[in-house]
Structure 1
Amino acid sequence: MATRLIYKRADGKWAWNLKVNGDIVATDGGQGYENESDARTMADRVVGGYYRDADKKIRK
């Protein structure tokens, strides 16, 4: 099962990752985004193909 998570980091920036069977297989590379929308848009662009139907979650 795949899950894409958008979350707010301790420094106030937004980030994302993709977990498959509990293992993180993709991230934003640590760069972070100024707002949730930008993080979500980039995650949607990167996470495609086989994992396009991953559960989508947001943690604030």
Structure 2
Amino acid sequence: MNCPVHGKDHTGARAKLHARIRRDLAKFDYPSKEEVIKLILKQMETFAREWAPQAW
């Protein structure tokens, strides 16, 4: 999924990822609870800091 981030404002990218995670969870019949989505986003941010530190 392509989520371009301009500057340091990540809100647009987070919103797109949030929607994508919700769709993927529904696709695999997994309950899309908000706490699960927040955990996935937190994990993604952790990896993003390691893989692309210049973006943070």
Q: TM-score, normalised by structure 2?
A: 0.37
RCO higher in structure (CA 8 A, sep ≥6): 1
Rg comparison, structure with higher value: 2
Question: Between Structure 1 and Structure 2, which shows a larger proportion of strand residues?
Answer: 1
Question: Between Structure 1 and Structure 2, which shows a larger proportion of helix residues?
Answer: 2
